[in-house]
Amino acid sequence: MFASKLKEAVLCFKAGRVTLPYPFEPRVPEDGFRGRVTYDVDKCIGCSGCANACPPRAIVVEDPCTEKRVLKFFLERCAYCGRCEEVCSEGAITLSKEFETATNDLEDLHITAEVFMGTCQRCGRCFEPEHALDKLMVTGLRHPNGREPNAGGSDDV
């Protein structure tokens, strides 16, 4: 028994260093590494394709009204599969190389974003306004005659 343990020890010393000095020397991940999800609300069109493709349901889409869509990312659920990045046609979701996501506060792993949607006057379906000034009219922040727009999206001017 002692001989087998001695043989094992000799083999271990012969191999040399087999671990990385990670905590003391930072290591940059390789290309193609899938780390923390980053989201650019300015590129998002609110199609909710990312939420439909997410296997662990880490992305939740809510529609509080016809002009606003709220996307909530729960990164503690994320499996880093990259499906949301693949299906995002506008490139609003990317996976960074950041992998140190440990935190004491769970809110650090939540992203909430509001996407302001424009609605068609005829059918009521949403579309992205062409210009940033059009977004102001859609969200109800300013209205030409001082009234709030009605919930149906059509304004009587």
| 74, containing H or E segment | strand 68-74
Query: Which whole number is the average pLDDT over 102-116?
Result: 90
Domain total of the chain:
1
CA angle 47, 126, 87 (to 5 degrees): 10
Query: Which whole number is the average pLDDT over 114-140?
Result: 63
- Which CATH number is 69's domain given? 3.30.70.3270
The verdict on residue 6 lying in a domain is no
Of 21-25, 47-51, 124-128, 140-144, the least confident: 140-144
Place of tokens 């059509």: 154
The verdict on residue 153 lying in a domain is no
pLDDT-based confidence at residue 132 (cuts at 50, 70, 90): low
Q: Report DSSP letters for 95-118, one per residue.
A: E-S------S-GGGGEEEEEEE-E
pLDDT-based confidence at residue 19 (cuts at 50, 70, 90): confident
pLDDT over threshold 50, residue 157? no
The verdict on residue 152 lying in a domain is no
**How many helices (H) and strands (E) would you count in the chain?**
4, 7
The verdict on residue 44 lying in a domain is yes
Tokens read off for 48: 């909710």
The verdict on residue 151 lying in a domain is no
For CA atoms 49, 52, 57, 63, the dihedral sign is positive
Q: Note the pLDDT of residue 55.
A: 93
d(CA 19, CA 21): 7
Return the DSSP state at 62.
E
Question: Which residues, 6+ apart, have CB-to-CB distance to 135 below 8 Å?
Answer: 116, 118, 129
The verdict on residue 97 lying in a domain is yes
Structural domain harbouring 120:
33-139
